Amino acid sequence: MAAPLELSCWGGGWGLPSVHSESLVVMAYAKFSGAPLKVNVIDNTWRGSRGDVPILTTEDNIVSQPAKILNFLRKQKYNADYELSAKQGADTLAYIALLEEKLLPAVLHTFWVESDNYFTVTKPWFASQIPFPLSLILPGRMSRGALNRILLTRGQPPLYHLREVEAQIYRDAKECLNLLSNRLGTSQFFFGNTPSTLDAYVFGFLAPLYKVRFPKIQLQEHLKQLSNLCRFCDDILSSYFRISLGAFSCVNRYQQQIDFGEVHSHDSTTRKLIASEWRHLSSWTRYGRCKSAETHTTCK
Amino acid sequence: MQLLLLCRETSWSDILCLGAERERDPVRNSVHAFLQMCNLPIKVVCRANAEYMSPSGKVPFIHVGNQVVSELGPIVQFVKAKGHSLSDGLDEVQKAEMKAYMELVNNMLLTAELYLQWCDEATVGEITHARYGSPYPWPLNHILAYQKQWEVKRKMKAIGWGKKTLDQVLEDVDQCCQALSQRLGTQLYFFNKQPTELDALVFGHLYTILTTQLTNDELSEKVKNYSNLLAFCRRIEQHYFEDRGKGRLS
């Protein structure tokens, strides 16, 4: 399509192109369907919105929320579900509902509500991505939003205490992971040999849980026992978000951060991928300099 | 041992107008259908204070001996523990599919029903407020109805439905019905020959949508577009309700 498609989303870390589940779902779908997305990572400038991220911008439209963005891409003929049968399309909707009802509350809890995880990992990471004083406000707001969502959807009586809600949501999440693992079996993707919308959603929800290093990791440990799901995430990362030594890398203060795609700062095109601080890490010593991003087109 | 299925009683005038309490509550219909499918002897009882008797504050619930269990999920588990299960014959992949479709129904249909009842101003003003507050005297009927509406709107906002318009909600319902219709295909039940809790759940919701009178009929029109779903509802009603002497107009 002639009109450029720009996606605003949260940046990456721990080997992922984005740490935010919803942003990751959209990025994965774009790779699977061949949509040429220009990824604008949220950064320390005041340009762009942070509220409803991910946001897709074209010349005439602004679309938010993953489901709407994916619908929009499909209407623009970037359809990753082209080869699916009607029943498989129906199954996709059902499994996405399963992910949102059973897995999402526990993922939100792990990232935003569990205090050890939130204060040592999530909050510092998100705060580092945005300018002061927004960095003092936005992470707290996202955390309260997550807790609100969990309590309003799952905190019904007889689960009066947050502890009981937590126990229930982690039980549900583990069951959901088991169901996904049973469904995936030994296949490469959920429907045959080509990835589809469901693969994008599962990858988006599982990959941050799999890769981000948290102090409290009960759900992560459960996921790591399901080797086919881990293999699924690793395969997608290596095939579609290629982490090769020839790629570019930039490092922020907190951990090695690998940026994929053509990453533009809002304010200056000359500031491509030059972070203010970076460190040499042992695996990158051979390429111990920051290169400008190469345009990363789709891998198909 | 007989199972007692308890549900909420509404006011005298409602019962006269619509004939029976059954149509309005999708969860009650689902539970009732499930218990009928398991071939368990049940007796349905309506009480005004049923919500307060229930362990979770939700109706319907079942009362067996000295145990009380509410909501479809726990009831299914309870009945399974007693040795009656509809989904034993399914393999792991099918069980995963069944759970996924049950979540789809809960996610889309239940939320859409709630939206229509409490967030669509026309329906709220004409039907829901009056119906919800009917067992209580003034001013409690108004206060409780507004409180419930506020709670539902909060929940809608938290899950991202706060900004949806009625048309978008109807489109979501259509998508959900299309998925269910495609999954059902030409089979008798969702997992071919035998009904499972998924069939009970889908029946409960679709039956409620088809039989409840609202200010507009768009929701039931969406369901009626799918003839195999209509046939499915009729078949379950005839087989599990009319045959046992509880028939009514569909």
Interval B81-107 mean pLDDT: 86
Cβ distance B183 to A185 less than 8 Å, yes or no, reads: no
Q: Is residue B179 less than 8 Å (CB to CB) from chain A?
A: yes
Please choose, from the candidates B162, B50, B179, B178, the residue with its C-alpha nearest in 3D space to the C-alpha of residue B111: B162
Among A89, A101, A182, select the one facing B106 at the smallest CB separation: A101
pLDDT band at B202 (very low <50, low <70, confident <90, very high): very high
Q: How far is CA B13 from the centre of its chain?
A: 22
Q: What pLDDT does residue A197 have?
A: 93
Cβ distance A179 to B100 less than 8 Å, yes or no, reads: yes
C-beta separation of A186 from A227 below 8 A:
no
pLDDT band at B10 (very low <50, low <70, confident <90, very high): very low
- Domains annotated for chain B, with CATH where assigned, are 3-246 (1.20.1050.10)
| Spatial separation of the C-alpha atoms in residues B250 and B247, rounded to whole Å | 9
CATH number for position A236: 1.20.1050.130
**Residue A299 included in any domain:** no
Q: Is residue A180 less than 8 Å (CB to CB) from chain B?
A: yes
Cβ distance A179 to B95 less than 8 Å, yes or no, reads: yes
Give chain B positions within 8 Å (CB) of A95: 100
pTM over 0.90: no
For residue B166, pLDDT beyond 90: no
Q: What pLDDT does residue A94 have?
A: 93
| Spatial separation of the C-alpha atoms in residues A176 and A209, rounded to whole Å | 14
**Residue bearing tokens 């046992």:** B244
Helix axes A218-225, A162-184, angle to 10 degrees: 20
Q: What pLDDT does residue B100 have?
A: 92
| Spatial separation of the C-alpha atoms in residues A83 and A88, rounded to whole Å | 9
Number of domains within chain A:
1
Which of A27-31, A90-94, B59-63, B122-126 bottoms out in mean pLDDT, i.e. has the lowest?
B59-63
| Digit-coded pLDDT (tens) for A37-74 | 888 888 776 666 666 778 888 888 888 888 888 988 88
For residue B82, pLDDT beyond 60: yes
pLDDT band at A230 (very low <50, low <70, confident <90, very high): very high
Pairing of strands A55-57, A62-64: antiparallel
**Residue A162 included in any domain:** yes
For residue A84, pLDDT beyond 80: yes
Closest chain B residue to A154 measured between Cα atoms? B155
Instruction: Quote the percentage of chain B above a pLDDT of 90.
Output: 10
Q: Is residue B13 less than 8 Å (CB to CB) from chain A?
A: no
Which of A100-109, A178-187, A197-206, B204-213 bottoms out in mean pLDDT, i.e. has the lowest?
B204-213
Mean pLDDT of chain A: 78
Cβ distance B104 to A102 less than 8 Å, yes or no, reads: no
For residue B15, pLDDT beyond 50: no
Q: What pLDDT does residue A233 have?
A: 92
Give chain A positions within 8 Å (CB) of B101: 94
Domain extent, residue A147, equals: 5-241
**Residue A196 included in any domain:** yes
**Residue A277 included in any domain:** no
**Residue A278 included in any domain:** no
**Residue A248 included in any domain:** no
**Residue bearing tokens 């009683």:** B9
Q: How far is CA A16 from the centre of its chain?
A: 8
Q: Is residue B137 less than 8 Å (CB to CB) from chain A?
A: no
**Residue A142 included in any domain:** yes
CB pairs under 8 A between A and B: 76
**Residue A264 included in any domain:** no
Q: Is the pLDDT higher at A20 or at B21?
A: A20
Chain B closest-CA separation from residue A97 CA (Å): 5
pLDDT band at B160 (very low <50, low <70, confident <90, very high): confident
Q: What pLDDT does residue A157 have?
A: 59
Q: Residues 33..72 of B with a Cβ closer than 8 Å to A: which?
A: 55-58
Cβ distance A158 to B55 less than 8 Å, yes or no, reads: yes
Q: Residues 96..155 of A with a Cβ closer than 8 Å to B: which?
A: 97-98, 100-102, 145, 148-149, 152-153
Mean pLDDT of chain B: 79
Q: What pLDDT does residue A200 have?
A: 94
Cβ distance B107 to A182 less than 8 Å, yes or no, reads: no
C-beta separation of B68 from B62 below 8 A:
yes
Give chain A positions within 8 Å (CB) of B154: 152
Pairing of strands A55-57, B61-64: unpaired
Q: Is A77 left (phi over 0), alpha (psi -120 to 50) or beta?
A: left
Cβ distance B158 to A148 less than 8 Å, yes or no, reads: yes
Q: Which amino acid is at A103?
A: L
Cβ distance A98 to B103 less than 8 Å, yes or no, reads: yes
The interface predicted TM-score of the complex, written ipTM, equals: 0.82
Interval A242-247 mean pLDDT: 45
For residue A130, pLDDT beyond 50: yes
**Residue bearing tokens 């002897």:** B41
Determine which of A52, A179, A191, A201 to mutate to test the interface with B (most B C-beta atoms within 10 Å): A179
Interval A292-300 mean pLDDT: 38
